[in-house]
Every structure is written in C-alpha cells, then in structure tokens.
Homo-oligomer: A and B are copies of this chain.
Amino acid sequence: MRPPLPLRDAAERSDAARNRERLLSAARELIGECGAAGLTMDRLAEQAGVGKGTVFRRFGSRAGLMLTLLSDSEAAFQERFMFGPPPLGPGAPGLERLIAFGEERIAYIIEFGELALAAEDATHGRSQPPAAALWHRHIEVLLREEGFDADPWLMARSLAATLAPDRLLNLLQVHGVSAGRLGATWRDLVTRVVSGA
C-alpha cells in the first residue's frame, strides 16, 4: 500500500521540461519574426513540434504565455524599485521615487510594451498581471510616505492607470509622443498630487 502520496512540489517530468523549453524558444523565435501580436497558439505548437493541448496545459492561455516570457524582465523591474539604488529604490524621498517609478515604467513599456499588452487581455481586461498589485501597493506606500491621506489606495490605482501599456503604446506609436514628454507629464501629475497633500 502507501499510495505514492504526491509530494508537494514534485519535480517536473523530464518530457514536460523539454517541451517547455521548446515552446519558449519557439515563441521567442516567432515573436522575433512576426511580433508578439502575430504569434498564434497554433503556429507556436506547430513550430515547437508539440500538440496544441500541450501549449495550453503549460501556459493556460495566450496571456499566460506572454506573462511567462515577461517574467524575467518583470522580476528585474520589481527588484529595482523595491531593493535597488535610489532614486528608484529605497533611500530617496517618496516623491522622487514616484517620479523615477513612472519614468522606469515608461522605459519598460517602450522595451517590452508589445509583450505586456499581449499579456493583458486575458479574456479582455479581466485579471491584470499579478505584478500590477505590487505596483499599486508601491505607489500607495509612497503616497502615504508623502503624507497623502485621502484614499491613497484608490489614488494609487488612478495614477497607475496613467501608465497602462495600451495607453502608453497608443500615445507613443499612434500619436508620436516622446518618452520624455510622457515622463514630464507623469512627473507633473505626481508632483501636484503629492504637493497638494
């Protein structure tokens, strides 16, 4: 007796690991050729030489795949604003950190925006990237630090809405707005919100 009693965190099966690698590298290749928007799950499965079911078992959805592809750069971004050097990381005044956060986010979107956008429409706007909760919290904490007392939770989300990938990409690509101009308006916005406190 003693049925295997699945140990938590059992190691990934070797075929699963191999297929995951195949899928990720095929995805990067396809995105290199056609852009993130041009990647279809069928083509990905074909390119990786696995069945379509395997793709979805692995990543859950198209958005999940994109999230996986982003996870490294996301983690690095989080690391920087949570533990990195000032003014983005701890050590600088809240307002400066807020300003730096927006500027970094804008730079991030310029680099990874297409992926970030594709990672968002998990069934159309539902469930944002899990990382979003962190940004919100981060902004909220900085607002509080600057003495913003009136509903910092909601104000943090309002400010974060300003940095959403779809909006930023639209401004950058469709309207030809420069990163500098986006950064300046962000700085202006958070400065006024904080200084009015």
Question: Could you tell me which residues of chain A, from 78 to 127, have a CB within 8 Å of some CB in chain B?
Answer: 117, 121, 124-125
By secondary structure, the A interface counts as helix
| B185 & A154 in contact (Cβ 8 Å cutoff) | yes
Among A124, A125, A164, A195, residue most surrounded by chain B Cβ atoms (within 10 Å): A125
Find out whether the CB atom of A150 lies under 8 angstroms from the CB atom of B196.
no
Which residues of A in the span 144-197 have a Cβ within 8 Å of any Cβ on B? 150-151, 154-155, 157-158, 161-162, 164, 166-167, 170-171, 177, 181-182, 184-186, 188-189, 191-193, 195-196
Cβ 8 A contact of A158, one of B155, B162, B195? B162
Chain A: residues with Cβ within 8 Å of the partner, total of: 30
Whether the Cβ atoms of A188 and B155 lie closer than 8 Å is yes
Q: Please indicate the chain B residues that have their CB under 8 angstroms from the CB of A167 in the complex.
A: 157, 161
Q: How far is the CB of A115 from chain B (nearest CB, A)?
A: 14
Please, how many angstroms separate the alpha-carbon atoms of A171 and B117 in the complex?
20
Which residues does A use to contact B, with CB under 8 Å? 117, 121, 124-125, 150-151, 154-155, 157-158, 161-162, 164, 166-167, 170-171, 177, 181-182, 184-186, 188-189, 191-193, 195-196
